[in-house]
Amino acid sequence: MGKTTNGHGRSRRNLLLSSSIVTASLLLANMAAAAPALIPSTTSATETGQVTVQGIEFKNNDITMSGNVYFPKDFDKSEKYPTIVVVHPGGGVKEQAAGLDAQKLAEQGFVTLAFDASHQGASGGMPRFLDDPMKRVVDFYSAVDYLTSLPYVDANNIGALGVCAGSGITVKASMTDRRIKAIATVSAVDVGAATRKGWDGKGSESALIGTLDAVAKQRSAEAAGAAPVYVNYVPKVGDETAPRDLQEAADYYLTPRGGYPTSTNQMRLVSVATLASFTGFEGADTYITQPLLIVAGSEAGSLWHSQELNAEAASKDKELFIIDGATHMDLYDGKGATAAANKVGPFFKAKLAAK
């Protein structure tokens, strides 16, 4: 199966496709007029197969975060469990790919936590639909804080799994949060590098300047009282001008396959500046010393992120696991997600003290 080597608009999609084709006029031509309202979180418990899911809330400074904790079969609150924090993709929410991965790892005996980024999903934070990767790093710290406060969590055996842009967040946070003892990524993306270089990593970084000029004008306009504007994460379903990965992303996020009410496909335009300044993997050559597993599809346009992370990470215990024939989105659900979980679960069992 694998091999080992040691928004509806076009704006953000074009930004990721190739920086050389992004212009300020194109960016501004595809803005959404308004954002949906915050959807309240829930703290109810449900059964999913052999896993129990409990809605929870935790504090991130003055923001109330919304998460789901997944408990394995025959969970005993008097015992301590190795625990995994799962970080969702950009534009995603905890009920999508991150939640599925959290469930699959709970089925393998772990306690897991998937949570919504601040300013997104059911988590608090104003303004809504801001995508700031460094704020997401702080979200991660707060999620680990919460886990260490739980009596059934083995605080000496916490791992982290990042999916897509959640991988860049996970890697960046784990560089300085030494409570993380093992790291895994699935369909990894450093969203900063993708913003600067395009989805395929071949764009001219200087071509982004026109877009940043437009963002600067919008920030000034909003400071003077103008309404915020929004761009979309993925293209319309059926837009064949988009890269294959992003066409498949539309099929996932904008259809019943993976769509969820709190995943709105909208992002504040001014977020582009914070995305462009993010360096998710910078420093990995010094600070990523934990065991590291990188899972990616052989046909993913994003594969270059996984290859770069594998090349740069300082860890002496690292593995790049390629799932033959899989695209970026294939690992979000279905057989691809199962194949990824079947690799990630044993990795965490080997690197964390299993029950």
CA dist., res. 161 & res. 87, Å (int): 6
Q: Which helix (H) or strand (E) holds 287?
A: helix 284-287
Q: Which helix (H) or strand (E) holds 334?
A: helix 334-351
For residues 211 and 218, is the Cβ–Cβ distance under 8 A? Answer: no
CA dist., res. 292 & res. 322, Å (int): 14
E strands present in the chain: 2-5, 45-48, 51-60, 63-71, 81-87, 111-115, 153-163, 180-186, 230-231, 267-268, 292-297, 318-323
Spatial CA neighbour of 187 closest among 12, 350, 341: 341
Cα 147 to chain centroid, rounded: 19
Q: Which helix (H) or strand (E) holds 339?
A: helix 334-351
pLDDT confidence of residue 353: 73
Cα 333 to chain centroid, rounded: 15
What does the DSSP assignment read for 94-126? TTSHHHHHHHHHHTTT-EEEEEPPTTSTTS--S
Q: Establish how many alpha carbons lie within 13 A of residue 332's alpha carbon, considering only the half-sphere containing its beta carbon.
A: 28
Mean pLDDT by 10 residues, the chain (355 residues): 44 43 34 41 64 95 97 95 98 96 96 98 96 98 98 97 98 98 98 94 92 95 95 91 92 96 95 96 98 98 98 98 98 97 97 72
E strands present in 145-278: 153-163, 180-186, 230-231, 267-268
Cα 64 to chain centroid, rounded: 19
pTM (predicted TM-score): 0.89
Spatial CA neighbour of 135 closest among 68, 193, 186, 61: 61
The single residue listed with the structure tokens 């991130």 is 60
pLDDT confidence of residue 354: 52
Query: Integer distance in angstroms from the first to the last C-alpha of the chain?
Result: 28
Q: How far is CA 45 from CA 67, 68, 345, in A?
A: 12, 9, 24
pLDDT confidence of residue 50: 85
Q: How far is CA 252 from CA 39, 90, 188, 238, in A?
A: 21, 13, 17, 12
